[in-house]
Amino acid sequence: MKDANLKFTFPSGFAEIKAINNDYFSFDFALEDPKQGCEVWLTVRPQKQNWISYKKAQSDKKTELANPDSMYVDVTKAYATELTGSKNFMARDMPADVLAEYNADGGKSYLLNLRDMAVLHHYKYALIVSMQKDHTGTLIAIFFTNYKDTDFYRDVNRVSHSFKFDP
């Protein structure tokens, strides 16, 4: 997280669990709230090396690379597609005031109905929150639950406010 200039404060009530890393998904860190029956999978990526490669590619007419600051959008769509088994989902841009709370420059959220998979511990719903700080790093957090109720959104709020990019 340090390389992505992201600060993290461990949220109360959650415990760290083994992050999933298999043929389907690869995450850096995972949390669980056993009382609420929800999990959070997190991946954090620094962008420094991607920006070095991108700048080099700009001077080479034969090479074309995607802008590293927009890559989080495609990565998040890929996660959403794998989780749902479909490309039929809706993304929402995060409002500027929300991004400002996290010192982020871009962000999206996706509320998903999950396909039934053992690797997902048979959770029914997920909320993906992805944010990026220009030239710095990206965060993708996936919140899993079986209930879309106020407790779930309270837990999402608790965990999501544990992260903040350096200004």
Res 51 pLDDT > 80: no
Band (pLDDT 50/70/90 cuts) for residue 39 is: very high
CATH number of the domain that 26 lies in?
A: 3.40.1000.10
Band (pLDDT 50/70/90 cuts) for residue 18 is: very high
- State residue 79's pLDDT score: 94
Say how far apart CA 160 and CA 39 lie, in whole Å.
13
Domain count, the chain: 1
Give residue-wise pLDDT tens across range 139-166.
999 999 998 888 888 888 888 889 999 9
- State residue 115's pLDDT score: 94
Total residues belonging to the chain: 167
Res 13 pLDDT > 90: no
For residue 39, give the nearest of 162, 155, 166 by alpha carbon. Answer: 155
**Residues paired with 165 in a beta bridge:** 6
Say how far apart CA 56 and CA 80 lie, in whole Å.
31
| Domain that residue 65 falls in | 2-165
Radius of gyration of the CA atoms of the chain, in A: 16
Average pLDDT over all residues of the chain: 89
The pTM of this model reads 0.89
One DSSP character per residue, 83-138 reads: HHTSS---EEEPPHHHHHHTT-SEEEEEEEEPP--GGGTT--EEEEEEEEETTTEE
Res 89 pLDDT > 80: yes
